Structure 1
């Protein structure tokens, strides 16, 4: 769980700044926020409070983290 928390902190750095802007969003901001929306949509079902298969949840987080790393390396 600690790894997931620190991966999240590392990943979300900067997204908050884009959301707080009072000026028009840059294309980089838009790209980052679309990525955030896509990732949140993939994990939102995990926040039901009724998790039956915890291994499946952790496997999904691991796969999302791997996808995030590949996207970061491609930047």
Structure 2
């Protein structure tokens, strides 16, 4: 089983977030962010070498949660 970490592109689950319908399930706003990561991981590289699916980082470092998208100003 593979694991694709979406935490670098999604904010933490929150019922007040516009990225989630109910605090857990992604909204239409979150789906393009997720699709971009999935397409990047699932698309074979031109040279045929396998990609690591445990992280979206290409240098082997852990994803940085501070790079997650922020809610628009005025949203609690």
Query: Normalising by structure 2, what TM-score?
Result: 0.35
Q: Greater helix percent: which structure?
A: 1
Higher relative contact order (CA 8 A, sep 6+): 2
Query: Normalising by structure 1, what TM-score?
Result: 0.36
